[in-house]
């Protein structure tokens, strides 16, 4: 007889495999169910533990996204965000009237001051204008260190800077170079009165371009207290970067833009460059008194208007807004 092969030997491979029979006693069934429930319970506990981790990850991503937005929207010379009443759409003359009204009525909020320093590409726009016309006469509303460099470019010409900030005036007046002169001036009209000033200019004949000499003008927008040299000089370039106009209570640039437009029309051909045109007052008053059709170039937050002297004495723009 052949030797008997034990049934547990691994050498014999059955042709058909059957699943193991289920446990035959109650205790076995109870143990199997208990293990299954314990596995399910562990899975539920693991998912619960992961929920705070997911929440933390989402919160971290949100914070990172917010930081990235802050970084990407800041410029080389940081500019704080415009206040809500200035950030509204103001892409054409007709769309700015409502925003100006809200600025006039909102005198309680005080947004942070703007940094007035100009960027490298903005300074290049100015320096190119000076190089094209040097020696020339330059008038600047607002004192920034970069503007002092224009004097060396404008060798043989005259550069006058008007500043109302006592700190800036004290710090920089000793740095005048060559024919650069820095005068301390005062502005009395806050930015919150921009809309009222605009309405006055539109209905008052004293604000017309040829109404009267600027220094004796009855127009509320006219800056009549400037040095006499300002009124007597034929300017080739006028830069409006002051006063600050950083909040409703601060002096606004309404009078500076209006005065620049009058001075420009008294000469032959004058370039008027307005800074911070992303702000409503600067944009609106530039359209009103320097005229959109005179806009010849822009760079950064600068708009460059070229004004031909001795134009229509009754109106500023052929198509008045």
Q: Is the pLDDT of residue 210 over 50?
A: yes
pLDDT in tens, 16-31: 454 555 555 545 555 5
Q: Is the pLDDT of residue 84 over 60?
A: no
Q: How many domains does the chain have?
A: 2
> Are residues 177 and 35 both part of a single domain?
no
Give the residue-averaged pLDDT of 191-217: 94
- Cβ-based neighbour number of residue 89 at 10 Å: 9
> Are residues 124 and 68 both part of a single domain?
no
CATH number at residue 254: 3.40.50.150
Higher pLDDT, 53 or 45: 53
- Residue 81 falls inside a structural domain: no
Give the residue-averaged pLDDT of 265-270: 90
Model pLDDT, residue 175: 53
Reported confidence tier of residue 219, pLDDT bands at 50, 70, 90: very high
Cβ neighbors of 26 (< 8 A, separation 6 or more) are none
C-alpha torsion 24→25→30→36, nearest 10: -20
What is the DSSP-derived secondary structure letter of residue 4?
Answer: P
**Global confidence as pTM:** 0.66
Give the residue-averaged pLDDT of 67-76: 48
Q: Name the nearest CA neighbour of 242 among 282, 193, 287.
A: 282
Q: Among residues of the chain, what percentage have pLDDT more than 70?
A: 66
Q: Is the pLDDT of residue 313 over 50?
A: yes
> Are residues 124 and 266 both part of a single domain?
yes
On the 0-12 / 13-18 / 19+ scale of CB atoms within 10 A, 268 is: exposed
Model pLDDT, residue 21: 52
pLDDT, mean over the chain: 77
Model pLDDT, residue 310: 74
| Strands 269-275 and 295-299, bridge-based pairing | unpaired
> Are residues 170 and 288 both part of a single domain?
yes
- Residue 111 falls inside a structural domain: no
Higher pLDDT, 309 or 213: 213
- Residue 10 falls inside a structural domain: no
Model pLDDT, residue 18: 46
Q: Name the nearest CA neighbour of 90 among 307, 298, 276.
A: 276
Model pLDDT, residue 304: 98
Number of residues that this document lists for the chain: 321
pLDDT in tens, 88-139: 444 555 544 454 555 444 443 333 343 447 899 999 999 999 999 999 999 9
> Are residues 69 and 135 both part of a single domain?
no
- Residue 86 falls inside a structural domain: no
Higher pLDDT, 159 or 108: 159
CA distance 194 to 47: 60
Residue with tokens 């109302």: 164
Alpha helices by DSSP H, the chain: 26-73, 93-105, 120-133, 145-153, 166-172, 194-203, 228-232, 254-265, 280-289
Could you tell me the two tokens for 124?
């290049």
Domain boundary among 7, 40, 73: 73
- Residue 244 falls inside a structural domain: yes
Model pLDDT, residue 212: 85
Q: Among residues of the chain, what percentage have pLDDT more than 90?
A: 50
Q: Name the nearest CA neighbour of 207 among 257, 138, 282, 164.
A: 257
User: Which of 96-100, 130-134, 210-214, 237-241 is predicted with the least confidence, judged by mean pLDDT?
Assistant: 96-100
27 DSSP β-pair partners: none
Domain coverage including residue 251: 120-308
What are the b/e assignments for 112-133, b being 16+ CB within 10 Å? Answer: eebebbbbeebbebbeebbeeb
Could you tell me the two tokens for 271?
């370039």
CA distance 137 to 59: 57
3-state class (DSSP) for residue 319: coil
Give the residue-averaged pLDDT of 277-299: 95
> Are residues 53 and 152 both part of a single domain?
no
- Residue 281 falls inside a structural domain: yes
CA distance 38 to 201: 84
> Are residues 156 and 302 both part of a single domain?
yes
C-beta separation of 200 from 221 below 8 A: yes
Reported confidence tier of residue 69, pLDDT bands at 50, 70, 90: low
CA distance 206 to 197: 13
> Are residues 231 and 300 both part of a single domain?
yes
C-beta separation of 277 from 310 below 8 A: no
| Strands 180-184 and 302-308, bridge-based pairing | unpaired
Reported confidence tier of residue 76, pLDDT bands at 50, 70, 90: very low
Model pLDDT, residue 42: 56
- Cβ-based neighbour number of residue 199 at 10 Å: 13
Domain boundary among 43, 73, 103: 73
C-beta separation of 320 from 291 below 8 A: no
> Are residues 227 and 150 both part of a single domain?
yes
> Are residues 66 and 130 both part of a single domain?
no
Reported confidence tier of residue 55, pLDDT bands at 50, 70, 90: confident
Domain boundary among 41, 58, 73: 73
- Residue 193 falls inside a structural domain: yes
> Are residues 152 and 293 both part of a single domain?
yes
Residue with tokens 């035959």: 24
Model pLDDT, residue 131: 96
Model pLDDT, residue 166: 87
- Cβ-based neighbour number of residue 134 at 10 Å: 16
Model pLDDT, residue 282: 97
> Are residues 143 and 201 both part of a single domain?
yes
- Residue 83 falls inside a structural domain: no
């Amino acid at each position: 007889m052949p030797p008997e092969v034990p049934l547990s030997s691994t050498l014999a491979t059955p042709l058909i495999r059957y699943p193991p029979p289920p446990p035959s006693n109650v205790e076995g069934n109870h143990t199997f169910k208990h293990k299954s429930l314990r596995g399910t319970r562990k899975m539920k506990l693991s998912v619960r533990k992961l929920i705070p981790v997911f929440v933390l990850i989402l919160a971290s991503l949100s914070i990172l996204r917010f930081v990235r937005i802050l970084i990407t929207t800041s410029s080389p010379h940081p500019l704080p965000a415009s206040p809500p009443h200035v950030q509204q759409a103001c892409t054409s003359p007709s769309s700015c009237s409502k925003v100006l009204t809200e600025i006039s009525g909102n005198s309680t909020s005080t947004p942070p001051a703007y940094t007035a320093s100009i960027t490298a590409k903005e300074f290049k726009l100015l320096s190119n204008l000076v190089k094209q016309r040097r020696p020339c006469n330059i008038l600047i509303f607002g004192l920034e260190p970069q503007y002092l460099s224009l004097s060396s470019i404008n060798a043989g010409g005259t550069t006058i800077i008007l500043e109302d900030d006592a700190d800036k005036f004290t710090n920089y007046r000793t740095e005048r170079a060559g024919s650069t002169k820095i005068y301390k001036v005062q502005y009395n009209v806050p930015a919150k009165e921009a809309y009222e000033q605009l309405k006055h200019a539109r209905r008052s004949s004293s604000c017309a371009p040829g109404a009267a000499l600027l220094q004796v003008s009855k127009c509320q927008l006219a800056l009549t207290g400037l040095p006499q040299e300002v009124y007597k000089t034929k300017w080739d370039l006028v830069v409006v970067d002051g006063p600050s106009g950083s909040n409703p209570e601060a002096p606004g640039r309404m009078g500076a833009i209006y005065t620049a437009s009058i001075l420009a029309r008294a000469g032959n051909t004058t370039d008027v460059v307005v800074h911070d045109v992303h702000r409503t007052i600067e944009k609106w008053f530039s359209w009103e008194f320097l005229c959109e059709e005179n806009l010849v170039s822009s760079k950064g937050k600068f708009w460059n208007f070229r004004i031909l002297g001795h134009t229509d004495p009754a109106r500023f723009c052929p198509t008045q807004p």
